[in-house]
Structure 1
Amino acid sequence: MTGETRPLFPRWQRMGGTRALPDRAATMRRTATGLLVAMAGIYVLAGQYLGLHPSIGYVRAFAEAAMVGGLADWFAVTALFRRPLGLPIPHTAIIPENKDRIADTMAQFLQDNFLTPAVVARRMQDMNLAKAAGEYLAAPAKGDTGERIRAGAGELIAEFLESLDPERLGSQMRSGLKTIAARVEIAPLAGQLLTAAIADKRHLPLIDSAIRWAGLTIEANEDMIRAMIHEKANGLVRWTGLDEKLANSVLDGLYKLLAEVLVDPEHPLRGKLEEGLAQLAHDLLHDPEMQARVEKAKNDLLDNPVVGRWWLGVWERIRGGLLKTAREPGGGLSAAFADTIADLGTALQGDPRLQVQINRFARRTAVGVATRYGGQIVRLVSETVKRWDAHTVTDRIESAVGRDLQFIRMNGTLVGGLVGVTIHAVEAAL
């Protein structure tokens, strides 16, 4: 690793994310160093007053051994992270020099203890993930948390809809619907529906509606019919004014015929209409030529660019409506989504069989992930640590355990002093 050391998370560090541990470690480092300096001062001072009293010897022995112990532990602690006094002493700066091996060891530990299928299955065996998820999902249904869930759900749906390319998605959905419609044979399906409708007499309202539609169409186009009769009549008929009477007679006859067919269930024309419907149903089911014509008409309709533009307009209106509903405060899609989540949570809480199924699925999924991707996860951890520069790794580890290491220095100083006093007492006794 070369180049300038860069923090992994600059913004987090600026916000004080790593401030507490380094400050505490630095405080303990100063305390341990101060204790060592104090022992050195006591040792020098006691050496000057050894003749005043026999107890001064014990003080000097304590300070001398404490200095030795403190210096030894300072060397040991410092050698973990850097070279003491910058000297190229063998077996120092252990962590920076062995960074890659530490990374591999950490990765292997992670794999052996967390990412093997047997370990994952055993750890998840007693975990009721489904019930815990149900309690969490059902709890926010009320109060401020519920409102945040609703707002978040609505914003999530809205952001998702806005992130989609409307034209592209509309084209894809149109293509999908066209593919599905192209596979469906319309003629046999329509024939079956029409046959069932005739058998249940559900076609009679259809005939009545057709007759009324015909009457209303004639009524709406009376002027056009009169003009057609006037144009077809010869000059003598127009000169005598008989064309107007002829037009009135034709229209009156048509209205009378449609009225009779509408009110008389046994009218012959109604019977012809029913026969025509029955024949149409038969042809749709059994006539290949009719079926081919229907399929061709269907495919022509699907290939018509006008239909494509119409569908894009429909999709855009649907999408706009969904966006408006998703962002509607306290309701719409967000409320429906939140209520659905709460219902799901309630179901997970109260259905043991569902919990068993979901827990089994989660366990199998986790085991599958560990089996398939455990090696990749471990390799990612190892490669990530290896990419860190040595100074960063040292700072991370020292920030985590540096305070305890300074306690080791302090303990070494005090324990060394006690050992020195003991040795001095034994010598004095002998």
Structure 2
Amino acid sequence: MRRVATGLLVLMAIIFVIARSFEERVSGLDFVTAFAEAAMVGALADWFAVTALFRHPLGIPIPHTAIIPTNKDRIADSMAHFLRSNFLTPAVVARRMRAMNVARAAGDYLAAPPREAGPGVRAGATELLAQALESLDPQRLGDHVRHGLAAQLERLEVSPLLGQMLSAAIADKRHLPLLESIVRWAGRTLEANESLVRTMIHDRANALLRFTGLDERLANSVLDGLYRLLAEMLVDPDHPLRTKVEEGLEKLAHDLVHDPETRARVEGMKQEMIGNPAVVGWWQGVWERLRGSLIEAARNPDSQLGGQFAGALQELGDALRSDVRLQSQVNRFARRSAVGITGRYGDQIVRLVSETVKRWDATTITQRVEGAVGRDLQFIRINGTLVGGLVGLTIHALDVWVL
């Protein structure tokens, strides 16, 4: 476009020379001369104006030329102020976001992604998950999660919580299956270690009992009594021992909530557990196994993770498309988030723009601005040539025919 504009100037100069040379011999060429002369003036004036925006014309440091390189810092601040005042304001962002259905658009994409995206969207999501997990330092992340959990546990008084949970379980009779399981476990344990019990009784019996064989009868009586006790506890809901156990549980639930000494003991046990190196090592192992399993499942095309992830994305998309209440909630959250980000970080965003432009050297900013609008600026030169020619032609016509 620069060559076209310059070529048009040269063309006007050639026309001027030719018309000037023959205007005395050819009638009417004075109008052509006037047009070409004024067109050259307009072309040169607009060339100077356009060039002065970016550099010194012909390298001569004429005042108020090379405007953009000279004033790039002021331009950067003006751009930042313009962005902040007209775009990055909570009111503007809220008004724009209110007219958008972000949830519906996301739902349409997740439920039926574009054909060019194909299954690559879901495959890419699982690969992104695997890469994110691989990029995390397992030791540092495990420590961060553990410290976070420890901080939450330290602030949480677990004793009243345990007491309330136990009270609720007793009130709803949810402790009975656990109690019966303990009784059955005790019976199986006693049966599996019956010989050990007999040996203990034989060893502790005196010589007279062993001589008369009463130690064996004593062992049988003890075992039969234990078996009968466990059986009665299992089948009789009102067994005295079960009642004692339930009373003990109720007292424990009460003490966990109201007894300062019990609460202090529970808190001490909690602190010991949090600081126990064995617990730390256990958590680190759990996290590493979980991370490794997720990475392997994400990378394995035959695993169910990819299918489950894809199915979850499609279900989420369907919900976002069909559920108006969910759309309203998601859109409200997106709008509030965008407004909050604008209000909180708007100044930092425009400061980034301003500082970036200020760091550019004069050549860089000139090339970028000229590359963005240079084509239109060359049209200014072309239009200046034609408009200048028409103005010159009009003035000459008025001079000849009117004046």
TM-score interval (norm. to shorter) = 0.7 to 0.9
Q: Who is 1:277 aligned against?
A: 245
Q: Who is 1:130 aligned against?
A: 103
Which whole-Å CA distance do the structure 2 matches of 1:62 and 1:84 have between them?
A: 25
Q: Who is 1:22 aligned against?
A: none
Pick which of 391-400 and 245-254 moved more: 245-254
- Counterparts of 1:22-421 in structure 2 under 5 Å? 28-140=1-113, 145=117, 147-175=119-147, 177=149, 180=153, 183-185=157-159, 188=163, 192=167, 195=170, 201-202=176-177, 203-218=179-194, 226=199, 256-257=224-225, 259-261=227-229, 273-274=241-242, 277-278=245-246, 280-285=248-253, 303-329=275-301, 331-421=303-393
- Taking a change above 3 Å as real, the CA distance of residues 64 and 189 of structure 1, as seen in their structure-2 partners, is closer
What amino acid is aligned across from residue 366 of structure 1 in structure 2?
A
* Offset from partner CA, 1:239-285 (integer Å, 9 cap, x none): xxx79x888767656665555456566999x9575355345425524
Given that 2:42 and 2:387 are in contact with CA atoms closer than 8 Å, whether structure 1 keeps it comes out as: yes
Which whole-Å CA distance do the structure 2 matches of 1:81 and 1:266 have between them?
A: 96
Given that 1:283 and 1:290 are in contact with CA atoms closer than 8 Å, whether structure 2 keeps it comes out as: no
TM-score by length of 1: 0.74
* Offset from partner CA, 1:59-90 (integer Å, 9 cap, x none): 33333232222222222221222111112222
Given that 2:232 and 2:239 are in contact with CA atoms closer than 8 Å, whether structure 1 keeps it comes out as: no
* Offset from partner CA, 1:311-365 (integer Å, 9 cap, x none): 3323322222222223232654444344333333322222333333333343333
Given that 2:84 and 2:350 are in contact with CA atoms closer than 8 Å, whether structure 1 keeps it comes out as: yes
What amino acid is aligned across from residue 325 of structure 1 in structure 2?
A
CA RMSD of aligned residues (A): 4.0
Unaligned runs of 5+ in 1: 1-27
Given that 1:348 and 1:354 are in contact with CA atoms closer than 8 Å, whether structure 2 keeps it comes out as: yes
Pick which of 190-199 and 384-393 moved more: 190-199
Which whole-Å CA distance do the structure 2 matches of 1:299 and 1:282 have between them?
A: 25
- Taking a change above 3 Å as real, the CA distance of residues 328 and 196 of structure 1, as seen in their structure-2 partners, is farther
Give percent identity, aligned residues only.
Answer: 53
Q: What SS does structure 2 have at the residue aligned with 1:384? A: helix
- Taking a change above 3 Å as real, the CA distance of residues 175 and 407 of structure 1, as seen in their structure-2 partners, is closer
Which whole-Å CA distance do the structure 2 matches of 1:391 and 1:38 have between them?
A: 31
- Taking a change above 3 Å as real, the CA distance of residues 323 and 216 of structure 1, as seen in their structure-2 partners, is same
- Taking a change above 3 Å as real, the CA distance of residues 162 and 47 of structure 1, as seen in their structure-2 partners, is same
Q: What SS does structure 2 have at the residue aligned with 1:339? A: helix
Which whole-Å CA distance do the structure 1 matches of 2:54 and 2:234 have between them?
A: 106
Which whole-Å CA distance do the structure 1 matches of 2:214 and 2:274 have between them?
A: 45
What amino acid is aligned across from residue 357 of structure 2 in structure 1?
V
Displacement of 1:216 in angstroms is 0.9
- Taking a change above 3 Å as real, the CA distance of residues 196 and 107 of structure 1, as seen in their structure-2 partners, is closer
Aligned residues: 393
What amino acid is aligned across from residue 71 of structure 1 in structure 2?
L
Pick which of 411-420 and 292-301 moved more: 292-301
Which whole-Å CA distance do the structure 1 matches of 2:326 and 2:241 have between them?
A: 56
- Taking a change above 3 Å as real, the CA distance of residues 314 and 387 of structure 1, as seen in their structure-2 partners, is closer
Q: What SS does structure 1 have at the residue aligned with 2:112? A: helix
Which whole-Å CA distance do the structure 1 matches of 2:43 and 2:116 have between them?
A: 57
Displacement of 1:188 in angstroms is 3.8
TM-score by length of 2: 0.78
Given that 2:54 and 2:366 are in contact with CA atoms closer than 8 Å, whether structure 1 keeps it comes out as: yes
Q: What SS does structure 1 have at the residue aligned with 2:84? A: helix
Given that 1:154 and 1:334 are in contact with CA atoms closer than 8 Å, whether structure 2 keeps it comes out as: yes
Unaligned runs of 5+ in 2: none
